[in-house]
Chains A and B, each alone.
Chain A
């Protein structure tokens, strides 16, 4: 008997018993779609986190004062340990490192900002021109902070969209002078409405050159720095050079933490991959449950068609042919069920994306293929026993069951 022929005989049986077939299809479809939906949750979370990290660029070193021990979960500062601050001079020394392309120092705080009698408390970020580059700000008016030496005090400010519109209303803020604390600063730019970017709520913030911000807050210390190495290949060399440079300036104390953005991202990625696989594996259990249903339904099929099996035997059908017929039926049912499951799962995932556009839910290809393969495999495995039972029937008894 040709495979195609056994396929078409199996197909007529599937069509002939629609209730039995559709129950089975439904069970398999639910199993497969469960795998897709659950893995899409894991994958959605992973891409969400990755995207957040990637918006900073992956080739970034993050430098903070104080030493975070591996395995610890609190920075030195947060547990009250005295921390030697990172200074602007430290930042300039790091900037001179041959491995470093650019750095982005950061001082944050808040201050009262005053223009023409209107006063407002505003987040202040002291930084340099690199901030707009790394975080990809669009300018609505003017330019971002000028590219000047880190220790050069320049009394200029760039405003977030909300700050500018609330202080200046319909006036053009460019070139206007406002007061921050007791200092006068000139507005040189306004950032397009951006919302939250990294840890900064851009629209509610005024950006100052770092040396000037240090004066406003009357401090020497830089809270955080990001350093961009010349090349992805020199990440490790750059990290070591930063540690060495700062140690030399801190009387030999290794008292800073340098985190590799890419390494953090990789860790997150592998955590989420394990999470997604685990979710997929849990969902696969439903496929195995569907498999036991396949076995039941195929056993029913064998007893419904006992006379037919007897006839096929009388007509010269071999054991192997009868096994093929029933296995084919189980395989076709589980494959169609799997395809329906993929459609069902993808539809559900599409709806999830519509409901929560921020998270890009999608089932990874490997999960889809594994679910379909597992469904068909279950169909075949759980189809073996009923098919063998059919093949072992005594032809005389089978014919008499009519």
Chain B
């Protein structure tokens, strides 16, 4: 599903050049459950951004479903994101003026799906994530756990094959955190490839493929 070959990414911070990714090589199979751990500034977020086609590497090759996507144009990348990748963010990124249902509809709205199809699918997804009775609520009327479940419903509504989660439980209490994690793992068991950045070693231990990053390099890879 994913193959990174010698991926490098440099940033200029002030006067300094920071190598966020140094010759990263990585293979992730379809249906894998991978976690990326490491200290702040180790490059794990940059890796997730590259995997999510939000950032383009300076050099190296990125094969997504067999085709090299490292040098596509912005709009081509946007199209791939729409078709293949779902995102779950630490801070949810729900649009506060829209209801849960409208937030879940948004990816389909952008893809040009008709209103009736959108509504039906969004309702299904919200039922799937246990929010059948919260569809008309706006984000500020929902708890943190509920917001993240709306965001997860939004991330899977286009039926992506890859789900990227950046600290999905970082803003949640432990109860709703474990609910959200359980939901993500359930989706993974249904076949979606799950890649998650986390600080939490307990979560890292649950994943089948556990990756460690340090100073822009993949330092350890443990597979169960």
Contacts and interface: CB of A to CB of B under 8 A. Distances in A.
A317 B158 CA distance: 13
A316 B78 contact: yes
B89 A399 contact: yes
B75 interface: yes
B95 A314 contact: no
Contacts of B98: 12
Contact of A396 (B49, B93, B106): B49
Given A16-B97, A312-B110, A321-B110, A396 B78 contact: no
A316 B97 contact: no
Contacts, number: 64
A310 B78 CA distance: 12
A310 to B, nearest CB: 8
A395 B54 contact: yes
A118 interface: no
17 contacts: A1-B109, A1-B112, A308-B95, A311-B95, A313-B78, A314-B81, A315-B110, A316-B81, A316-B110, A316-B158, A318-B75, A318-B79, A320-B75, A321-B110, A396-B54, A396-B55, A399-B93
Contact of B79 (A5, A13, A310, A316): A316
B74 A319 contact: yes
Contacts of A15: 97
A402 B91 contact: yes
B91 to A, nearest CB: 5
Contacts of A13: 97
B97 A314 contact: no
Contacts of A321: 110
B107 interface: yes
Given A311-B93, A321-B110, A396-B49, 7 more contacts: A2-B112, A15-B97, A16-B96, A308-B95, A315-B81, A315-B154, A316-B83
A316 B111 contact: yes
Q: Could you say which of B52, B79, B93, B154 has the most chain A C-beta atoms within 10 Å of its C-beta?
A: B93
Given A313-B78, A319-B75, A12 B54 contact: no
B25 interface: no
Nearest to A308: B95
Contacts of A313: 54, 78
Interface in B74-95: 74-75, 78-79, 81-83, 87, 89, 91, 93, 95
Contacts of A133: none
Interface string B148-165: 000000100010000000
Counting from the closest, the 10 A-B pairs by CB-CB distance are A316-B82, A16-B97, A315-B107, A316-B81, A311-B93, A5-B109, A395-B54, A317-B110, A318-B75, A316-B78
Interface of A: 1-2, 5, 9, 12-13, 15-16, 307-308, 310-321, 395-396, 399, 402
A396 B89 CA distance: 12
A367 to B, nearest CB: 37
Contacts of A320: 75
A307 B78 contact: no
Interface SS of A by simple majority: helix
Contact of B109 (A9, A307, A395): A9
Given A16-B97, A399-B93, A315 B82 contact: yes
A399 B98 CA distance: 18
Nearest to B80: A316
Q: Could you say which of B91, B97, B154 has the most chain A C-beta atoms within 10 Å of its C-beta?
A: B97
A315 B115 CA distance: 18
A319 B79 CA distance: 11
Q: Could you say which of B82, B109, B112 has the most chain A C-beta atoms within 10 Å of its C-beta?
A: B109
A319 B81 CA distance: 14
A211 B101 CA distance: 94
A275 B52 CA distance: 62
Contacts of A16: 96-97
Contacts of A316: 78-79, 81-83, 107, 110-111, 158
Contacts of A9: 109
Contacts of B97: 12-13, 15-16
Given A5-B109, A9-B109, A314 B87 contact: yes
Contacts of A1: 109-112
Contacts of B87: 314-315
Contacts of B89: 399
B78 A318 contact: yes
Contacts of B49: 396
B95 to A, nearest CB: 6
Nearest to B154: A315
Q: Could you say which of B74, B79, B91 has the most chain A C-beta atoms within 10 Å of its C-beta?
A: B74
A308 B109 CA distance: 15
Nearest to B91: A402
Contacts of B54: 313-314, 395-396, 399
Q: Could you say which of A13, A15, A312 has the most chain B C-beta atoms within 10 Å of its C-beta?
A: A312
B165 to A, nearest CB: 13
Contacts of A319: 74-75, 78
Nearest to A310: B93
Interface string B92-136: 010111100000001101111001000000000000000000000
Contacts of A312: 106, 110
Nearest to A5: B109
A1 B109 CA distance: 6
Contacts of B82: 315-316
Given A9-B109, A314-B52, A319-B74, A307 B93 contact: yes
